Amino acid sequence: MIPHIRIVTASMLAFVLSAASMAAADGQHVSEYDISLGILPIATARFTSDFQDKGYKITGSFKSAGIADIISRVSAETSVSGHVVGERLQADNYNLVYKTGKRTRVYDVAYANGNVKETTIDPPPRRNPDNWVPVSDKDLQSVLDPLSGLIFPGNAKVCPSRLPIYDGESRMDLVLTPAGTKPFSTDGFKGDAIVCSIRYEPKSGFRRGRSDIEYLKKTPMEIWFAKAQPANVYAPVYARIPTRMGQLYVTAVKYGG
């Protein structure tokens, strides 16, 4: 359906993260997103965040829809739990259950003070050591999980920024650069969004020379951040991800509530 679908799915899961992650008060926040390839709807996503004192848990689901289901049925369920440290979310545990057709793979990552403590993948993927770029211990220091990675406090610079992401298998940097502002409105939000150009830089945990990765490396993406009130944070409401089959769009259809 889409080149290197797990990496793209992980990116979309990051892009469509719930917006109220830094809310000071206890509560629940729900956001919903439509995903399309050009004008064709291909998937939907929904995220719920729960907060108790300084702890948090975010759960999300992603499933293919429309014509994409005819080609290959893809779904994912994901969650992250952790605690708020200053103005950042610091994950303790991240989980992704990824299904394509009849195949299921489960990723579990445990963190300690922002560093990866342990990773398990079930079933373990087959890798060719001749072209596989292994993840080093250094790659797993001071990293962000895909769900908590794209949240910025209200007084932070959203872009430029370099985000070190680890999704349980691949280690990547997402490099954000400023691209102005644009108006955006959806259920729960109306106002200006900060626009960032985003570049994908693979670091490790991928097959060397893979054409779809090389394509993503050379092709800039775009992501928009809207300020969530009263949480006083910026989170994604829109993303454009180029693929060889056309532009992939992620759009918030509900932002809070």
**Full domain range(s) for residue 222:** 5-255
As a whole-number percent, the residues of the chain with pLDDT over 70 amount to 82
C-alpha to C-alpha distance for 16 and 33, rounded to whole angstroms: 7
Distance CA 175, CA 251 (A): 20
Number of domains the chain is built from: 1
CA 111 to chain centre: 17
Indicate the pTM of the whole model: 0.84
Confidence label for 89 from pLDDT (cuts 50, 70 and 90) = confident
Instruction: Please compute the mean of the pLDDT values over residues 230-235 and round it to a whole number.
Output: 68
Q: Please check whether residue 210 is in contact with residue 2, taking contact to mean a CB–CB distance below 8 angstroms.
A: no
Residues paired with 224 in a beta bridge = 195, 238
Cα-based distances in Å from 98 to 63, 157, 166:
10, 32, 16
